[in-house]
Amino acid sequence: MNLSTTLAGIPLNSCILNASGPRDTTLEELQALQTSESAAIMMKSCTIDSRPGNPEPRYVEFTGGAQQSMGLPNHGYQAYLEYAQILKETSPKPIVASVSGLSPEDNLHIIQAFQDTPVDAIELNLSCPNIPGKPQTAYDLTATDRLLEQIQSTKPLGLKLPPLLDPALVRDFCSCITQHQVSFVTLINSVGNTLVIDPATDRPIIKPKHGLGGLSGSMIKPIALGNVWMFHEALKDTQIDIIGVGGISFGRDVYDFLLAGATAVQIGTAYQSENIPVFSRLNQELLQVFAEKKIASVDTIRGTLQEYQ
Ligand code: DHB
């Protein structure tokens, strides 16, 4: 019995890794992930230039979830080219770059720059909800198609997507991406443009974008699972893998995402709140679920969710 999996042709010794965003911006944070039980090192979404991000308060946890509008604070893509080099010198753990350029040209430039580095894959973030004036690209299928048409990557390319809330949207999206060289989709980014009001002050809990920000944590798990299940249906006869993300707090949550069709999962909000020990806890809990159900491997259960007859 083991938790290993293969994502976009890359062997991983567990199906559990960190999500881009929390605690993956600095070299020190990435080195902590390297020695952790996270199966890979996902790096913070990067832009051409370094950014301080949005004004605070910009990340607030509450019962059942968190809301954030970080605004892409990062060190600029050149720092992450260098961090990848440094990380690879000490261990072979897979590294995934997350690219979130502020324009199609920026994305093409950054993806090109990562080609000659030791990163194992690139996750193109088409779903950051937090930059005023920059709509989430994945909600514009024409723009997505045009961008994918121009990308040339020898590294496996994945797309980080926002929730798509209807099977027809999912089918249209999948018809588009199967025309291009996409190796995996990561579902879902935080649910964008939500509003949470603080009863003590009658104000939004975060400052940026009039209080609108991305919702994450256990309350979004059914949305994420629904997206994984819809994409699994649309992609099951293709080579495109699914990474599930959204509200995973326990081993049982990971198991649910595997049943719905995920090949691996990412941990965001729970990693932010529990830090590095979250990965060993979730691996242990998932092993326990596998043992109780006599499951030998991730491969044997992926996408096997049984419906009512
Ligand atoms: C940020 C938030 C996201 O949900 C995302 O995909 C990328 C960046 C942020 O605000 O930094």
The predicted pLDDT at position 169 comes to 98
The predicted pLDDT at position 109 comes to 98
- Tell me how far apart the alpha carbons of residues 7 and 14 are, in angstroms, rounded to a whole number: 10
Parse the chain into domains and list their residue ranges: 5-54+72-194+221-301
Residues 6+ apart with CB under 8 A from 89: none
The predicted pLDDT at position 232 comes to 98
- Tell me how far apart the alpha carbons of residues 101 and 194 are, in angstroms, rounded to a whole number: 23
Extract the residue ranges of the chain whose pLDDT is less than 70: none
Query: Across the strands, what pairs with 265?
Result: 16, 244
Give the tens place of pLDDT for each residue, 200-256: 999 999 999 999 999 999 999 999 999 999 999 999 999 999 999 999 999 999 999
The predicted pLDDT at position 1 comes to 85
- Tell me how far apart the alpha carbons of residues 143 and 140 are, in angstroms, rounded to a whole number: 5
> What letter represents residue 79's amino acid?
A
Testing ligand 1's pocket by substitution, the residue of 74, 98, 190, 207 carrying the most ligand atoms inside 8 A of its CB is 190
Name the one residue in this structure whose structure tokens are 């299928």: 141
Testing ligand 1's pocket by substitution, the residue of 58, 59, 124, 125 carrying the most ligand atoms inside 8 A of its CB is 125
Helix, strand, or coil (residue 225): helix
Catalytic residues: 128
Nearest alpha carbon, ligand 1 atom 7: 128
Q: Which atom of ligand 1 is nearest to the CA of 131?
A: 10
Ligand 1 binding pocket, CB closer than 6 Å: 21, 45, 69-72, 100, 125, 127-130, 189-190, 214
Query: Across the strands, what pairs with 186?
Result: 160, 243
Query: Across the strands, what pairs with 204?
Result: 197
Question: If one looks up domain 5-54+72-194+221-301 in CATH, what number appears?
Answer: 3.20.20.70
> Is it true that the peptide bond before 188 is cis, omega within 30 degrees of 0?
yes
The predicted pLDDT at position 79 comes to 98
**HSE toward the beta carbon, residue 301, CA cutoff 13 A:** 23
H or E stretch covering 172: helix 167-177
The predicted pLDDT at position 110 comes to 98
Nearest alpha carbon, ligand 1 atom 5: 128
Ligand 1: centre distance to CA 240 (Å): 23
Determine how β-strand 241-245 pairs with β-strand 184-187.
parallel
Ligand 1: centre distance to CA 128 (Å): 5
Phi, psi of 194 (to 5 degrees): -95, 160
The predicted pLDDT at position 112 comes to 98
The predicted pLDDT at position 55 comes to 98
Whether the predicted model's global pTM rises above the 0.95 cut:
yes
Ligand 1: centre distance to CA 205 (Å): 17
Testing ligand 1's pocket by substitution, the residue of 50, 59, 98, 130 carrying the most ligand atoms inside 8 A of its CB is 130
